[in-house]
Structure 1
Amino acid sequence: MDRLQAMTAFVRVVDTGSFSAAARRIGVGQPAISKTIAQLEDRLQVRLLIRSTHGLTPTDAGIRFYERAKLAIHEADEAELQAKGAGAGLAGCLRVCAATTFARIMVLPHLPQFMARHPDLEVDVILDDRVIDLVSEGIDVALRMGELADSSAIARKIATGRRSVIATPAYLEEHGVPQVPADLAAHQALVYTQLGNSWTFHRQGTEASVAVAGRVRFTAAEGIRAAVKADMGLAVTSDWMFWPELQSGEVLRVLEDWKLPELELWAVFPTGRLASAKARAFADFVQRIVG
C-alpha cells in the first residue's frame, strides 16, 4: 500500500463525506477506495471512520490523522513543485476562504480566468464572514479586510480600498444630500455592527466624528447591500461592496471631499508552515484584479 496515496484517499473521503464521491474525485472505483481505507486502518491498528446509515464520520483518531495527512500531502505537493521548477503548472486542491459579499462581487466573476490558467487545479471556496481557524479548517489562504486580529498571522497586504458614504438617488432625493459630516446625524444610517455607529472623517487636516442614528443594524454586508438598495438609508462601506452599483449609478457617493479611513485587504496564510505555491498564486491573482 502506497502511504501517500492512502492518505490522499482518506482525506478525500473525509472532505467529500463518502467513498463514492471520493472515488469520483480521485478517478478510481469505489471498491478501491473502500479497500484502501480498510488497509490503512489495519496498518494503523485504529478505527478512522465510523460507518452508519447517515454516512461517514471520522473518529477522534481519524480527525487527528486527517489533519496530519493533509499537511503531509501539502508538503509533498510543494516538494514536487519545487523540483519541477517555477514553470510547472499548479495542481491539486486549493482551499480559499473569503467574506461572502466581497468574494461574490470582486473575486468569483474572475475565477474562471484563474481556473483556465491552471487546468489541473481544484478550488474549494469557503464563504464565511467570520474569522475562522485556517489550520483546523484546512484553509490554504484567506482574504481578510481591516485590521488583523492576530498580529502573529502570516499575512501579506494585497490591496487598499476606499470607504465611502453611499445611498441611492431615490433616498437622497427624498431626504436631501448631506453637505458636511454633521448632517449625517439627521439621516437614517444603516449600521454595520463591525464598524459601529461612530464615523470619523478627515479633510485638509480637519477631523470630524459623527455618531449616527440607525433603526436597523446588520452583522453582514449582504444586509447592508439589500437595505441601501431598498432606499432605507445611508451607509459607510468599502467601494468593493457596491462596485457594480457605483459603476452603474444605482448608488451614489456623498461627502466625497471628506475622507474615511481606507480598508486594507490581506492574504492570510496558515501559521506554522510556508505559504504554498497555489496560495501565493491565488493571492497574486486577487491582487491583480482588485489592486
Structure 2
Amino acid sequence: MAAFNLNDLQLFVQAVESGSFTAAGRHLGIPKSTISKRVAELEERLGVRLIQRTSRSFALTDIGGEFFEHAQASIIEAEMAEGIVRSRLAEPSGTVRLTAAVPTAQFMLSKHLAELTARYPKLKLSLHVTDRFVDIVQEGFDIALRSHRSPLGDSTLVQRRITTHPFLLVASPDYIAKYGKPERPEDIAIHKGIMPSLSGEQWRLISDDGAEVVIGPQPVIAADEPMVLLKAAAAGIGITILPTSVCNDALQDGRLIRLLSGWTAGSITTTALMPHRRGQLPSVRAVVEFLAERLAG
C-alpha cells in the first residue's frame, strides 16, 4: 500500500471536523468537489468506507472513527514538527482557536487582544465566546479558558492555572450615602442585596485572618450574569459580590466602593485547558504564556 498523502489526511480531518464537504471547502477555500474526490480516493486506497454520506447525512463509519482519531493526531504531530522549525526561525504564527465563557471574554480577554495581536503579528486568534460547555477535543479548539469556584475534575487535558480573583463586597457611592456603610459582616443582614438567585442564598465571608461568617442581605433583585450584577450595583440598587476581574475598573473609576475591606467572599480561578498534543505547539504556548502574564493579579 502506498504511503498516505498528508494533504489527503488533512482534507479528511477537516471534513469530519467541519461536518460536511461543503463546510470544509468553505473553511479551506477550495471546491467541495475537490475534497470529496480526494476523500473518495483515500477510501479506495484503504479499501474501506470512512464516511457514510447521502444528500441528508454525513457520518463516520466505525472504522472511520478510529481512522479519524489517528489521522487527527498525525496532523497535529505534523503541525508540531513544523512549529518547532518555525519557533527557531521566527515568531509564533498560524491560527490558535480559543474558547471562553461570555464573562471571561468581556472582562478579562477583550482588553488585551490588541496587545496580543501587536506582540505576535503573524498569529491569528479565533475566539469563540459561549456559555455552553465546549468539548475542546471534539470541536477542535487549542485552548479553553474556564473560570471555576471548585477544582476542575481530572481529565486527559493539560491544565495551566492562569489566575485567581477574590470576590469583593461592593456597592455604589449613592447607595452608601442613602443607606450607610456596613462596618461588620453582621451589618449586611439589614442591607439590600443584588443576588445570583432569590432562593435564600447567603454569602460565606472569610476574613484576612481566616475567620468565617455566613450572612445574607435582603434580596431585591437577582441575575445570573456578572455584567447585570455590576450595572445593578452601580445604579445603587444594593450590595453585591463580584470577582475583581469584573469590578476592578468600576472600583478604580469610583462607580463602586469596596465594603468590609478585610473580608472576601471566596474566589474564582481561571484555568487554561489544552489537548495534550496541541498544548505543545509554539503558537499555543505563546498565547497561554501571554494570558498568564497579562491576566494574573
- Give me the whole-angstrom Cα distance separating, in 1, the residues matched to 2:220 and 2:66: 47
**SS of residue in 2 equivalent to 1:214:** strand
C-alpha displacement at 1:66, in angstroms? 4.6
The letter for the 2-side match of 1:111 is L
In the TM superposition, residue 51 of structure 1 has moved relative to its aligned partner by 4.9
Take 1:205 and 1:27, find their aligned partners in 2: how far apart are those partners? 58
Query: Alignment identity in percent?
Result: 29
- Give the superposition deviation at 1:241: 1.4
2:203–2:265 contact (8 Å) kept in structure 1: no
Question: Which residue of the partner structure matches residue 182 of structure 2?
Answer: 178
Aligned match of 1:50: 53
Runs of 5+ consecutive residues of structure 1 not aligned to the other structure: none
- CA–CA separation in structure 1 for the residues paired with 2:175 and 2:55: 56
CA distance in structure 2 between the partners assigned to 1:60 and 1:227 by the alignment: 52
| Aligned residues of 2:137 and 2:275 also touching (Cα < 8 A) | yes
**Higher Cα Rg, which structure:** 2
Residues 92 and 122, structure 2, Cα contact 8 Å, conserved in 1: yes
- Aligned partner of 1:253 in structure 2 is 258
Shift of 1:21: 5.1
Q: Secondary structure of the equivalent of 1:199?
A: strand
In the TM superposition, 1:34-113 aligns within 5 A as: 34-44=36-46, 45-48=48-51, 50-52=53-55, 57-59=58-60, 61=62, 65-113=67-115
Equivalent of residue 162 in structure 2, options 158, 162, 182: 158
1:74-123: CA deviations, max 9, x gaps? 22111222244444433443222222112122212322332344444443
Write out per-residue CA displacement over residues 129-182 of structure 1, whole angstroms, 9 at most, x where no aligned residue.
455433233332222233322145532222232321122333333333222211
Rounded Cα–Cα distance in structure 2 between residues aligned with 1:67 and 1:224 = 43
| Deviation, structure 1 residue 258 | 2.5
Pair 245,65 (structure 1): closer, same or farther in 2 beyond 3 Å: farther
Report the TM-score, using the length of structure 2 for normalisation.
Answer: 0.78
TM alignment of 1:109-188, pairs within 5 A: 109-145=111-147, 146-151=149-154, 154-188=158-192
Q: Is the 8 A contact 2:204 2:214 kept in 1?
A: yes
Aligned counterparts of 2:39 and 2:177: Cα–Cα separation in 1: 65
Tell me the distance in 2 between the aligned counterparts of 1:49 and 1:223. 47
Match for residue 12 of structure 2 among 10, 13, 16: 10
When residues 117 and 212 of structure 1 are mapped into structure 2, their CA distance, relative to the original with a 3 A threshold, is same
- Name the SS for the 2:192 alignment partner: coil
The alignment status of 1:192 with 2:196, answered yes or no, reads yes
Which residue is 1:283 aligned to?
A: 288
Partner-residue secondary structure (3-state), 1:253? strand
Q: Given that residues 168 and 243 in structure 2 are in contact (C-alpha distance below 8 angstroms), is that contact kept between their aligned partners in structure 1?
A: yes
Q: Is the 8 A contact 1:7 1:69 kept in 2?
A: yes
Q: Using a 3 Å threshold, how does the CA distance of structure 1 residues 129 and 212 change in structure 2: closer, same or farther?
A: farther
- The whole-number CA distance in structure 2 between the counterparts of 1:197 and 1:272 is 43
Question: What are the within-5 Å matches in structure 2 for residues 255-274 of structure 1?
Answer: 255-270=260-275
- Secondary structure at the aligned position of 1:190 is classed as strand
Following the alignment from structure 1 to structure 2, what is the Cα–Cα distance between the partners of residues 122 and 11?
Answer: 21
Instruction: Give the Cα separation in 1 of the matches to 2:17 and 2:42.
Output: 17
Give the match's secondary structure for 1:165: strand
Name the residue aligned to 2:238: 233
Given that 1:181 and 1:201 are in contact with CA atoms closer than 8 Å, whether structure 2 keeps it comes out as: no
Pair 1:40–1:199, CA change in 2 (3 A): same
* Contact 2:173/2:256, CA 8 A, preserved across alignment: yes
Shift of 1:271: 5.5
Name the count of aligned residue pairs: 287
